[in-house]
Amino acid sequence: MEGIKIATIGGGSSYTPELVDGFLKRYETLPVRELWLVDVPEGEEKMNIVAALARRMVERAGVPMEIHTTLNRREALAGADFVTTQLRVGQLAARIKDERIPLKHGILGQETNGAGGLFKGLRTIPVIMEICRDMEELCPDAWLINFTNPVGMVTEAVHRYTNFRKIIGLCNVPIGMHRAIADKLGRPMEDVQVTFGGLNHMVFATKVMVDGEDVTGRILEDWGSQSVMNITGIAWNPEFVKELGILPCSYHRYYYMTKEYLAEELEQYGKHELRAELVKGVEEELFRLYQDSSLCEKPKLLEKRGGAYYSDAACNLINSLYNDLGDVQVVNTVNNGAIDNFEKDEIVEVSCVITRSGPKPVRVGRLPKAVNGLVQQIKSFEVAGSAAAVTGDRRKALLALMINPLVMSQKTAEAVLEELLEAHKEYLPQFFQKQ
């Protein structure tokens, strides 16, 4: 067996040890012989630090996996079987601007939602599309597993504006929800079947089954304060969740509890304790740990980075594609009639049967009327944001901001648009080359 070649774009990410750990644990069924880490010159130092740790992890595991590093993306993509993307255009400095500038104008600043989410998409989509074009030439049979946020908007843009069809968007939120549901039921995850449907960072658990019995109602009454690392867990009103009829994800809090989270973030803004600023500190400490030549496993501190279950999500998906397992996983892919609220060719986050030929969406049906308006608004935001990223048209970017329910003001949208465009000018040439 020749083994598998995987190229990871954004290889200098602090998440990479999670990915390496996941591949090592699955080596018997997923023999990764070459892992290529790719980054830009600004990330070269971090990439080399991560690669050294990865080689120590491989040596400890005693498997014949080669770790390569390069700044030449095409070298890494040539002949790859799978490509993963975990890049951040502008690095954490850009994320800090995405969070602070909207808050300066009195609206939520968040990495993947609202104005911050739009601008991460505007910077990211052109880069991902370039990678897709390279893959069509250099590794046309490879799957692209995209973990780069905003996953839904990125996947939507690739589907709408390229002919590339082997992209799957991935998020760890459904895995976290599945674990939380299983914990509440006192059962292992494999005993609990959860059906998911919606959009990225706006996904719902629509049905929970155990031993052939529908137990969704039990969880609706006790969803409580379940959340992810980067969102404080204000408890859900159980009467609201029960009446909604499906389980919201952590990110729904920004839309159903906007006032509370805006107040919280404004307080953090004044203290320079926003999530992006805290992550910057965690990353600095992680890379100090990674440089310890005696470290040969992912450190416990990595859990505070917010990428819990990343390796499970990414490695399980690649393993199932490679081995044609036909198991059910939650991914971002073409709706194809799975969720009645969306067009057939729109991108959704949904439970899918994973086969060698790709994900096959599980039929979810229609999401409740109570959530239809919100999910339609966010889908139109993703579509408008995709168009803005591809065209560099400021009117389309303004449209996206005006559509988003977290923006709430025309004057605010105009001011935030101009300030964020100027702040990220280096990474948004499409908006400036026509002027």
pLDDT score at 433: 85
Closest alpha carbon to 332 in 348, 316, 344, 309: 348
Looking at this protein, which amino acid is placed at residue 278? L
pLDDT score at 307: 64
Q: Looking at domain 4-170, does it have CATH number 3.40.50.150?
A: no
pLDDT score at 311: 76
A 10 A CB-CB count for 129 gives 18
pLDDT score at 301: 85
Residues 335/346, Cβ–Cβ less than 8 Å: yes
pLDDT score at 365: 98
Token duo for residue 405? 């329910």
pLDDT score at 229: 83
User: 3-class SS at 294?
Assistant: coil
User: 3-class SS at 28?
Assistant: coil
Give φ, ψ of 143 to 5 degrees.
-90, 140
pLDDT score at 276: 95
Token duo for residue 259? 């006032």
Token duo for residue 399? 């449209």
Catalytic residue (one of 251, 255, 261, 322): 251
Question: How many residues can be counted in the chain?
Answer: 435
Name 158's Cβ contacts closer than 8 Å, sequence gap at least 6: 125, 128, 129, 132, 164, 167
Rounded Cα distance, 88 and 91, in Å: 5
Asked if omega into 150 is within 30° of 0 (cis), the reply is yes
Token duo for residue 150? 């905003």
Q: Strand 143-146 vs strand 82-85: parallel, antiparallel, or unpaired?
A: parallel
Low-confidence ranges of the chain (pLDDT < 70): 1, 306-308, 434-435
pLDDT score at 434: 61
Express as a percent the part of the chain with pLDDT over 70: 99
Residues 153-194 have pLDDT tens digits of: 999 999 999 999 999 999 999 999 999 999 999 999 999 999
201-237 per-residue burial string, b: 16 or more CB within 10 A, e: under 16: bbbbbbbbebeeeebbeebbeebeebbbbbbeeeebe
Q: Is 251 a catalytic residue?
A: yes
**Cα-based torsion angle of the residue sequence 241, 364, 331, 246 in order, rounded to the nearest 10 degrees:** 0
